[in-house]
Amino acid sequence: MNLTDCVLCPRECHVDRTAGQTGYCGQNDKIVAARAALHMWEEPCISGVNGSGAVFFAGCNMRCVFCQNYDIAHSNAPCKTISVSRLAEIFLELQEKGAHNINLVTPTHYILQIIDALHLAKANGLTLPIVYNTSGYEKVETLKLLDGLIDIYLPDLKYYSSDISKRYSNAPDYFPVATAAIAEMFRQVGTPVYESSGFIADANSEFDISESSLMKKGVIVRHLLLPDCTEDSRYILRYLHETYGNNIYISIMNQYTPLPQVASIPALNRKITDNEYDGIIDYAISLGIENAFVQEGETASESFIPAFNCEGL
């Protein structure tokens, strides 16, 4: 694969990004990012005590209408162009700051450059686990390029319904594409492995997951509840449990925040109710899902959205 005829993601735009052309993601062959800093708002086993070393890349191959990172997905926020060598330096700087891992946020369209940067950083002392934080809209062939480089996959599984995925993300094929991608991720990294208080525990061990228990390897599938989409959420939870049992973790999120860009979409212009979320959690319990992260209390807030101001670049 190369950037002269880009087919890295399922959009398969066939543009020559090396000639300055841009496809659905909106990016040419330059690496563009909005922030690189310690990030506390991931799952506890990712953020830990010190924070995850999150690099927020600009552009996106999904561009969901409700995206909480809408400004960087559409390259409206302040962003900076960086080289492969600079990206490798950033990884090492985050390690020096005490990050528990390197967290690649929306990395799909930069996979080739990230691979080069990871090799360079590892050759210069990078030892942290690498987290691949993605919408889930990935090609299996592209993910195979990452085999052996990624320790933790953190994909979304956003939609089951093709109607909903078309309406909100212009991706009617989202569910079959994302589930094939998650299967490849699981093939690469397997069941979860944690490091806690000096010992290694796998997904079958009995211990409490706390902020001191850091994931070293595995898959966490995120599902964000959307207003009036609880039936879709049930399909997704059932699929994940029937397919993977408790060999993956599922993060069931209630933090959906209606931002200004959805003001004209009545169905999205409200938060999730307590009844909607509690009903989905009860359903997950009824399925027998044990390895899950849930959110308690008021989490729907723009406080989950960091300042995209080129920090750390």
Q: What is the pLDDT of residues 233-242, one digit of tens each?
A: 999 999 999 9
- Residue-level pLDDT at 307: 82
Q: Which run of H or of E encompasses 286?
A: helix 274-287
pTM metric for this prediction: 0.93
Q: Give me the DSSP letters along 11-25.
A: T-----GGGT---TT
CA 247-252-253 angle, to 5 degrees, is 150
User: Token pair for residue 59?
Assistant: 């552009």
User: What b-and-e string marks burial along 151-184, b requiring 16 or more CB atoms within 10 Å of the CB?
Assistant: bbbbbbbbbbbeebbebbbebbebbebbbbbbeb
- Residue-level pLDDT at 198: 41
Please give the DSSP secondary-structure letter assigned to residue 191. S
Residues 6+ away with beta carbon under 8 Å from 229: 161, 164
pLDDT tens for each residue of 2-29: 999 999 999 999 999 999 999 999 999 9
Beta strand extents in 106-212 (DSSP E only): 130-134, 152-155, 193-196, 199-202
Q: Give me the DSSP letters along 64-85.
A: -TT-TTHHHHTT-S--EEE-HH
pLDDT tens for the chain, 313 residues: list them.
899 999 999 999 999 999 999 999 999 999 999 999 999 989 999 999 999 999 999 999 999 999 988 888 876 778 999 999 999 999 999 999 999 999 999 999 999 999 999 999 999 999 999 999 999 999 999 999 999 999 999 999 999 999 999 999 999 999 999 999 999 999 999 999 988 644 344 444 443 444 458 999 999 999 999 999 999 999 999 999 999 999 999 999 999 999 899 999 999 999 999 999 999 999 999 999 999 999 875 554 545 678 889 999 9
Comparing CA positions, the residue from 222, 224, 219 lying closest to residue 168 is 224
Task: Work out whether strand 102-105 and strand 152-155 pair parallel, antiparallel, or are unpaired.
Answer: unpaired
- Residue-level pLDDT at 207: 37
- Residue-level pLDDT at 197: 42
User: Token pair for residue 36?
Assistant: 């690189």
- Residue-level pLDDT at 196: 62
Fill in the amino acid letter for 239. Y
Distance in angstroms between the alpha carbons of the first and the last residue of the chain: 27
- Residue-level pLDDT at 210: 47
- Residue-level pLDDT at 14: 98
Burial class (CB in 10 A: 0-12, 13-18, 19+), 19: exposed
34 backbone dihedrals φ, ψ, rounded to 5°? -115, -15
Query: Which residue is it, tokens 């009617």?
Result: 172
Q: Which domains does the chain have, with CATH numbers?
A: 3-304 (3.20.20.70)
- Residue-level pLDDT at 211: 43
Residue 312 to residue 97: CA distance in whole angstroms: 11
